[in-house]
Amino acid sequence: MPLPSDDQIVQISKDLLAALHAAAGSEHRGYRPAHAKGFMLHGTFTPSAEAKSLSSAPHFSQSSTPILARFSNSTGLPQIPDGDPNANPRGIAIRFNLGGRTHTDVIGHSTPYFPTRTGAEFLELLKAIGSSGPGVPSPSPAEVFLGLHPAALAFVTAPKPAPTSFACEHYFGVTALKFLNAESKATYFRYRILPVAGVETMEDAAAKEKSPNFLHEELTTRVADGPVSFKLMAQLAEEGDVTDDATVRWPESRSVVELGVVKLEGMETNSDKEQRHIIFDPIPRVQGIEPSEDPLLDVRAAVYLMSGKERRAAA
């Protein structure tokens, strides 16, 4: 997982990491600067019959693949209560261990799009929010930014109810990727991770009355009673659909195909240690799945790598 070769992307990524750290506070440097609070589970992935017709990726053709999964809350605050509205959107990351040192990841969150198209715009948004504290006259820098960027305003104002369980939340890969099958046919797609138990949310007031760690506690109990399953899906783009802008959703009329079942079978024993070590990668880096031209991919990968190196150094 190398850094991008573009010096400008690397610099923007460094600035983003610094801005995220500033928002969370320097005392949390040993944690992820976004989605700091989380925990990990282990399990298996079993592909559908249709998956290998779309992609030659190894985990779509072998009978099953061992996986690790991480659920998380938003913000860089590792102690944020699960019922805090700022803990939304929730995150998921799934690592498919393909043997040896080979792996690929799926990363998503519970809002099906991103507030900005580029890393530079996201940095501008973070700086605007950081300059818009109490006492700042209106229009604040954040209000000005949102007024000029409708996609960011839509993201900020979108309903984000708390789930009753991480097992009852849906998750979306916001950046498009590209399948390549054995005949080299390309298909652009976005991941969706759908709970077999169904989506179930609660009002903010009810969430605030819960234990600060109720989502972790609930899932620990749930998985002890049996596996927690999700369907890994792919929404397929059609001709003319935008594939390089994570702020743009595709119509719900687009085909959604099942790629397989993610079955989470137990909590990771050394979850805290594993979370500090593992560096998820939004770029697939595996045969049969390629990145799109979405400019967020390189920036996100660079931020994840820089943050991961910081966590490992702090461990």
Using alpha carbons, select from 200, 211, 124, 125 the residue that is nearest to residue 166: 200
- Give the span between the Cα atoms of 247 and 257, in whole angstroms: 22
Burial of 292 (0-12, 13-18, 19+ CB in 10 A): buried
DSSP string, 247-265: TPPPPTTS-EEEEEEEEEE
Using alpha carbons, select from 267, 257, 250, 217 the residue that is nearest to residue 234: 257
**What is residue 236's three-state secondary structure?**
strand
Under 8 Å between Cβ of 94 and 173: no
Q: Return the active site residues.
A: 35
- Give the span between the Cα atoms of 34 and 119, in whole angstroms: 14
Q: What separation in angstroms does the CA of 231 have from each of 48, 142, 234?
A: 10, 37, 10
* CA quadruple 172, 271, 28, 164: dihedral sign: positive
The rounded Cα 114 to chain-centroid distance in angstroms is 10
Q: Which two tokens stand for residue 297?
A: 């991919």
Q: Which two tokens stand for residue 229?
A: 């399953």
- Give the span between the Cα atoms of 243 and 293, in whole angstroms: 7
